[in-house]
Amino acid sequence: MAIPRVLAGAVALCAAAVCVTAVPAAAAMPSTLTLTATTAGQAPHVVELTCDPVGGTHPDAQLACIQLAQVDGDIATMPGTEAHIFCPMIFQSIKVSATGLWRGRTVLFQDSYTNSCERDNKTGNLFRF
């Protein structure tokens, strides 16, 4: 009777080890996004953002990755970095897009804003480059 108990315990221990190691691997999946911002009448600005590990050509990749992690990569739900800031009535249309992967999920985001102030209010630091 002792051998079946030992085998059952070993199986349970192995199953637990697989579960424990699977969670960090999923959380550490690399995230790579191509971010584009185009101000009316100007050439597009394009940067790469890599998270887990942080890198790419984004000027503040660490903050952008932190803000994305807060919303699990859902850019449409990002809180702006400066809540309730009043934006001037300067009309300089900006179109932004993000394509790539966030922790294994496809990201396709696109939006337009009246000016950079409105963009930052809606997307935080992500498109500030």
pLDDT at 105 (0 to 100): 95
String of DSSP letters for the chain = -HHHHHHHHHHHHHHHHHHHHHHHHHHT--EEEEEEEEETTSPPEEEEEEETTTEES-TTHHHHHHHHHHTTT-GGGPPPSSTTPPPPS----EEEEEEEEETTEEEEEEEEESSHHHHHHHHTTTT--
Answering whether pTM is above 0.85, one says no
The structural domains of the chain, ordered by start, are: 29-123 (3.30.350.10)
pLDDT tens sequence across 16-68: 444 444 444 445 688 999 999 999 999 999 999 999 999 999 999 999 999 99
Instruction: List, edge to edge, every strand of the sheet that includes 105-113.
Output: 55-56, 45-51, 31-39, 94-102, 105-113
Averaged pLDDT of the chain: 82
pLDDT at 49 (0 to 100): 98
pLDDT at 113 (0 to 100): 94
